[in-house]
Structure 1
Amino acid sequence: MTETDVRHTGSEAPAFPQDRTCPYQPPQAYTEWRGESPLTRVTLFDGRPAWLITGHAEGRALLADPRLSSDWGHPVFPVVVQRTEDRGGLAFPLIGVDDPLHARQRRMLIPSFGVKRMNAIRPSLQGLVDRLLDDMLAKGPVADLVSAFALPVPSMAICELLGVPYGDHDFFEECSRDFVGAATSGEADAAFAKLYQYLHGLVAAKQAEPGDGLLDELIARQLEEGELDHNEVVMIALVLLVAGHETTVNAIALGALTLMQHPEQIEVLLADPAAVPGVVEELLRFTSVSDYMVRMAKEDIEVGGTTVKAGDAVLVSITLMNRDAQAYDDPDVFDARRNARHHVGFGHGIHQCLGQNLARAELEIALGALFTRIPGLRLAVPLDEVPLKAGHDAQGPIELPVTW
């Protein structure tokens, strides 16, 4: 295959990303991009062409390839969302930097997100989920499952893990929502500034009076010993706080919605508690809350017989990789009994989600308890009336009215 054989070349390349019309299905146009070629050409909002990787095997290989860069601070790093076009060279820790800086930052945090530590907080998570369900049931239907349940579960969990006062949750949830959902770079900068100042003060307060959260550990182990400076601790805290609840809120809400629309699959979850982790993995594959990952080629790379040139924008489609028929039988079918291992819902390679063990614990406990306690849970509005987030954001419902 030569470059001219790739679908959607030149001016024909369609816009990316696009909005979903069904909460858990890819946008209609995406179905046209699946085929023999593992990549296609798309166009970003500013007119820049980009390669969209759609093949599961090719995507996993590229996400582990050091020739692709995640350096947001690079002057020609691709901009997918208009609100980030004036980033001023700002590179966020962990998610927007390359090795060796990325490896250094990640190495400091890995012990705090290990399976052993996540298992230790499961009883606390279970208690939190039970209290939220008690409150929701006491108030009775109709309820917004996002604000009543999906949002407070990860919000409380990440506050407890980091050592952030949950009493401030309304403030940082609003800042986070304004930051990731801003329409312009000015709005995003304003929300970022408020959140940065809050965390700047919190880190200073913890230096004076240490606690026992992850931030306190970073301060004691890394800041005081000179491995991190104050700004880097604040920025790591910001990334963890936003990422630690933003995607999981959507995953809980979208997972619940998908199950409500496939009631026969709820029986798999209810029949055997040991089946819950497998159901969660299939939901992560099927819903693909993170629709894509952004990269830039540092060198020429051959992909499926096509040359991706140095400097090219590369978007790895998590949604289409998870729906690749070469990787999964009947990929567009939600099958709670499927072995969905090797999905890329958490990404792949060195930037694979650091908090995936926490997210899995939250999803397993939240969804298992939700349908055990309220097996008759159902949508209170038609599916097409559920308001959805835009295609350039983490995928999920803005509100989710439910009844029982």
Structure 2
Amino acid sequence: MADTLTDTADNAEQPIPEFPMPRAAGCPFAPPPGLEELRDEKPITKVRIWDGSTPWLITGHAQQRAILTDPRLSNDEKFGSFPHVSEYRADIAKVTPKLITNTDAPEHTRLRRMVNGPLLLKRVEALRPAIQKIVDDLIDDILAGPKPADLLTALALPVPSLVISELLGVRYEDHEFFQRNSNIALDRDALPEEARAASGALSGYLDELLTEKLAAPGEDAMSEMAARVTAGEMTRSEAVHMGVAMLIAGHETTATMISLGTLALLENPEQLAVLRDTEDPKVVAGAVEELLRYLSIVHSGLRRVAREDIEIGGQVIRAGEGVVVEISAANWDSAAFPEAERLDLTRNARLHNAFGFGPHQCLGQSLARVELQVVYSTLYRRIPTLRLATSFDRIEFEESGTTYGVRTLPVTW
């Protein structure tokens, strides 16, 4: 039986490509060449993932914006042939409670309302002076320390870790514990038992923290969730798992953007000068949007499943079929961003899909934007001679996790 109403003999003869696809060694910032070819020729097509299933891959910018706002597209990991990232994610989905990451309206709306208070733009903007002090203190330490320095461990990881620790009410001295376990839980190449152990360790940690906040609440997000648990608005399991999700998402993605963004800017010195030489917050904000577009660090795709038949771009995605929305190819779609392969910090890139789109777009995007604006507007001004301490071709890139970045970033000045 045909998979869609528009399947043809020609389609049947074409081999189904594997996903995810490798990036080209000589173009580490670009989407994988295979994805760009699919976007230009078949922006809606089938791919084969780790378990042999064949979800639909959406690579075109316009097609992504259309499907991500379609209420027939679901986040429910237990429905139909949901295209899980790994064996571990498929296994844990069977027992994961309802979260904003695996529910649809109205449950998704309720849960998002429970946790979005600390991440509202007004409250995040109020953190800007504190974030600025964190960044300045870390740069002070870099300047006072030995050369070369690893920017990943000296700045990129500490900034979001300190911020999310303050926001959640987590002890920063435990950051190595949650960074290590977060990396394992997100590594699609990790053994299922390793990922389960790491996830269990994080859940146990947040459960203990919730107990502390129930007894002695503070001015932080976990205390707010503890109050909702007491009021019967959230279950304890919902609060713990939401805390884990915020802890992981709150440091890994921003850390990757800081380090990979710096590498991209060092390779494009005329663009780095735009940030180094400006004091205009609008220029900085625009530069952050372009870097988010250009790098598109979430490279395993947004995973969804069709609740009902969805016709899009001449194809019919059947109810129960999985969908992967691949961000990097869409953010390099020349139909949306002319000369998309060029990093241009003066470009109006606000319509990128780096945070997703529609009702499920990233909850922490306001916080990420402020962190990146502070870092990018401060680092190159305070260390104007910053440069790589090794050759570009010796930089090692990390492709096995949810985000794409560098393993280390040795710099000097």
TM-score (norm 2): 0.93
1:118 matched to 2:124? The reply is yes
Q: Hey, what's the Cα distance between the residues in 1 that align with 2:219 and 2:12?
A: 54
Alpha-carbon distance, 1:317 to partner: 1.2
Alpha-carbon distance, 1:320 to partner: 1.1
Does the CA contact (< 8 Å) of 2:43 and 2:59 recur in 1?
yes
Alpha-carbon distance, 1:141 to partner: 1.8
Q: State the secondary structure of the residue aligned to 1:315.
A: strand
1:189 matched to 2:192? The reply is no
Q: Hey, what's the Cα distance between the residues in 1 that align with 2:366 and 2:10?
A: 38
Alpha-carbon distance, 1:271 to partner: 2.5
1:3 matched to 2:10? The reply is no
Q: State the secondary structure of the residue aligned to 1:86.
A: helix
User: Which residue of the other structure, out of 101, 111, 123, is the alignment partner of 1:105?
Assistant: 111
> How do 1:368-383 residues align onto structure 2 when only pairs under 5 Å count?
368-383=377-392
- AA paired with 1:57? A
Alpha-carbon distance, 1:88 to partner: 5.0
| Match of residue 47 from structure 2 | 42
1:278 matched to 2:283? The reply is no
Q: Hey, what's the Cα distance between the residues in 2 that align with 1:185 and 1:7?
A: 38
Query: Number of aligned pairs?
Result: 403
C-alpha change, 1:4 and 1:77, in structure 2 (3 Å) is closer
1:140 matched to 2:146? The reply is yes
Alpha-carbon distance, 1:9 to partner: 5.1
| Match of residue 18 from structure 2 | 15
Q: Hey, what's the Cα distance between the residues in 2 that align with 1:82 and 1:398?
A: 24
Does the CA contact (< 8 Å) of 1:8 and 1:40 recur in 2?
no
Q: State the secondary structure of the residue aligned to 2:324.
A: strand
1:24 matched to 2:29? The reply is yes
| Match of residue 85 from structure 1 | 90
For residues 93-116 of structure 1, the C-alpha deviation after alignment (integer angstroms, 9 at most, x for no partner) is 211222222111111222221111
1:52 matched to 2:57? The reply is yes
C-alpha change, 1:7 and 1:121, in structure 2 (3 Å) is farther
Q: Hey, what's the Cα distance between the residues in 2 that align with 1:117 and 1:6?
A: 55
| Match of residue 405 from structure 2 | 396
C-alpha change, 1:159 and 1:90, in structure 2 (3 Å) is same
Q: State the secondary structure of the residue aligned to 2:304.
A: strand
Q: Percent identity?
A: 43
| Match of residue 347 from structure 1 | 356
> How do 1:219-230 residues align onto structure 2 when only pairs under 5 Å count?
219-220=226-227, 222-230=228-236
Q: State the secondary structure of the residue aligned to 1:35.
A: helix
For residues 114-145 of structure 1, the C-alpha deviation after alignment (integer angstroms, 9 at most, x for no partner) is 11111110000000000111111111321111
Does the CA contact (< 8 Å) of 1:145 and 1:399 recur in 2?
yes
- AA paired with 1:49? T
Does the CA contact (< 8 Å) of 2:44 and 2:58 recur in 1?
yes
Q: Hey, what's the Cα distance between the residues in 2 that align with 1:190 and 1:126?
A: 35
Q: Hey, what's the Cα distance between the residues in 1 that align with 2:46 and 2:12?
A: 6
TM-score (norm 1): 0.95
Alpha-carbon distance, 1:151 to partner: 0.3
For residues 282-327 of structure 1, the C-alpha deviation after alignment (integer angstroms, 9 at most, x for no partner) is 0000000112211111111111111111111111111111111111
C-alpha change, 1:239 and 1:246, in structure 2 (3 Å) is same
Q: Hey, what's the Cα distance between the residues in 1 that align with 2:173 and 2:50?
A: 39
Alpha-carbon distance, 1:36 to partner: 4.5
1:333 matched to 2:342? The reply is yes
1:209 matched to 2:229? The reply is no
| Match of residue 244 from structure 1 | 250
Q: State the secondary structure of the residue aligned to 2:405.
A: coil
Q: Hey, what's the Cα distance between the residues in 1 that align with 2:411 and 2:387?
A: 6
- AA paired with 1:175? N
| Match of residue 205 from structure 2 | 198
Q: State the secondary structure of the residue aligned to 2:224.
A: helix
Q: Hey, what's the Cα distance between the residues in 1 that align with 2:304 and 2:297?
A: 18
Does the CA contact (< 8 Å) of 1:72 and 1:90 recur in 2?
no
Q: Hey, what's the Cα distance between the residues in 1 that align with 2:195 and 2:11?
A: 32
Alpha-carbon distance, 1:392 to partner: 5.3
Does the CA contact (< 8 Å) of 1:80 and 1:392 recur in 2?
no
- AA paired with 1:303? I
